Homo-oligomer: A and B are copies of this chain.
Amino acid sequence: MGNRVVNSSAIQQILEDVYARFRDLREGRPADYIPELAKANPDDFGIVIATTDGRLYEVGDTAKDFTIQSISKPFAFGLALKLLSSDHMLAKVGVEPSGDAFNAISLHPVTGIPRNPMINAGAIATTALIWAHDPERAESILLDFLSDMAGKRKRLSVDEDVFRSERDTGHRNRAIGYLLRNSDVITSSPEQALELYFRQCAVSVSCRDLAVMAATLACQGRNPITNVVGLDAMCNTDVLAVMGSCGMYDYTGQWLYNVGMPAKSGVGGGVMAVVPGRLGIAVYSPPLDTYGNSCRGIAVCEELSKRLELHLFDQPNRAGTVIRSSTSGQKRYSRRWRSKVDFDLLKEHGERIKVLQVQGVLDFAAVEELLAHLEGSTTNETFVVLDLAQVLALPEVSVQLLRDALSNLQKQGICCLACRGEHLKNFWPTEESEAVGWFESLDRALETVENRLLEQLHCTQVGERLPNNSITLLADLGEQTRTRLMPLLERRNYSTNDLLCRKGDAGSELFLVETGLISAGIESSTTSKRIRFATFSSGVCIGEIAFLNNLPRTADLVADEDSTCLVLHRDTFEQLQHEEPEVAIDIILALHRDLARKVDRANQQLSLLEQR
């Protein structure tokens, strides 16, 4: 078995402290109503904590086998739910605490069905149902199931001595069996079901096994070490619910009060407790109190619950945590390099763009918070980018809720794009559908809302696309230099998907984008997809670094749409450097200023992202 026993000194120290504190607790004594159990060593004592990613912390007698006894009951109940329908089970066994001791008869006065599956009557009824489902294979099915929950490669087995001892002295349980037969909860002779019940109680486990079984219950029924799914999430929740209301005999209320987690104890000395989603805990110590619970087991779990703050009902308020960051388009922008005119427009109107980074498990309360935020902070002028990269999970309830909410926003005229949600399988559309607002990349989503905002502004502000001659670099040159440079530039047309240059080419040309759209990127070596680094609109200059230093291109340049560029050749520029160095210096300085703006912009974004 690949159980990885780790040794994080700080956590190990806590376990050892707790162990030392209760080692000398001398209360209680081992069960004696089954002769074989009375032989247990009262000094045996082990504690194991299993995490939901499969790490174990342990101290004491954690590998020693003992019999599972009543801790088999929740598992048998889970197996019965899995094999039979939940409705069928609930017609045969209740789920109500009885207020009585573990071995009380506790049948419902009217229906005659046992109060719950954690007392003997309910457990015998449960096992009888498993037996009746497949009399031949019932024991094998049960042992396989328990072994799956414990993550054992070698199957768990029955301690034959304890089994015989229980069978030979289990008169009271036999009486219960016949009462169940009498009220038709069991519909054939109870003897064979009782045989299976005695065998089930005599299954040998170690404290380590129990901790992994508890961790499996903490993981919605999936064993965190083997990843085998023993129970589906719904059956698993049902099992935890009966443990929560009835698991510790007539000490369950006190347990829920002091410890606050679903648990089950057995007269073999085991206690198993579950922190759903987080931890499994097991303690082994044979001396029992008058309720039939392990004395050290109760003491250790109370102490661990207090010390590690594990009480399920003690939850900090998680309101206010779903939105990791909310930034406006004045501060957060795409990597698209635009003309100064467009940058200025985005700066001025960027507050209409809202970039929301959402985080955590989007359960109902989290989605509610997100929707309330969206509704409270948007108008029909707002463009919303919803970044889902940090969403850990989107439960089924939230899928429809979020879809409906987004479509409501769209109907209200709020442009709402979602990005980076591919990991949310049940939510994310399977096809690429950028048109309607689902993006793989945040940058693409940002660029899209910027484009839409600019389109609106251009329509309302200037009535049509900006004039194409506002190339920032040219505007930044003095009149004299510009006049000298213009005739040296070649105007060149590109169609969509044309390459301007390839990665590795010599940087022999400088491109000034007059109309259209150019992007820099490379082809992925694994897929044939193009990885885009940046996009350049009309008005900007590209390729200046390789050009000035005569270096190879670091990326392909591709026309994303039909485009026109003004091109300066290296030969022409070198000639200019020699013949009119003051003009060349002016141009280089303008390129340096342009690059300085890029550094500045990148650093601003960096500062913003680092704040998060």
Contacts and interface: CB of A to CB of B under 8 A. Distances in A.
A244 interface: yes
For the residues of A in contact with B, the DSSP-based class is helix
A220 B10 contact: no
B51 A368 contact: yes
Contacts of A585: 577, 581, 584-585, 588
A443 B606 CA distance: 11
Interface string A560-600: 00000000000000000100011011001101110110110
A582 B554 CA distance: 27
A95 interface: yes
B97 A372 contact: no
**Is the interface on chain A under 10, 10 to 19, 20 to 34, or 35 or more residues?**
35 or more
Contact of A237 (B313, B397, B408): B313
A313 B243 CA distance: 10
Contact of A257 (B245, B257, B581, B592): B245
A219 B316 CA distance: 7
B309 A396 contact: yes
Nearest to A402: B10
Given A313-B241, A313-B244, A360 B363 contact: no
A546 B315 CA distance: 55
A584 B584 CA distance: 11
Contacts of A320: 53
Contacts of A591: 592
Contacts of A8: 368, 371-372, 375, 405
A529 interface: no
A314 interface: yes
Nearest to A237: B314
A313 to B, nearest CB: 4
B318 A589 contact: no
Contacts of A180: none
Contacts of A99: 96-100, 115
A318 B257 contact: no
Contact of A319 (B52, B97, B363, B602): B52
Contacts of A603: 533, 602
A145 B149 CA distance: 47
Instruction: Give 7 nearest A-B pairs by CB, closest first.
Output: A277-B315, A99-B99, A581-B581, A53-B319, A96-B253, A276-B315, A602-B602
Interface of A: 6-11, 13-14, 51-53, 55, 94-100, 115-116, 218-220, 222, 224, 233-234, 236-238, 240-242, 244-246, 250-254, 256-257, 260, 262, 275-279, 307-321, 324, 359-361, 363-365, 368-369, 371-372, 375-376, 389-390, 392-393, 395-397, 401, 404-405, 408, 442-443, 533, 545, 548-549, 577, 581-582, 584-585, 588-589, 591-593, 595-596, 598-599, 602-603, 605-606, 609-612
Given A10-B371, A222-B317, A224-B319, 10 more contacts: A8-B371, A8-B372, A51-B372, A219-B319, A233-B314, A242-B253, A276-B312, A277-B318, A279-B364, A591-B592
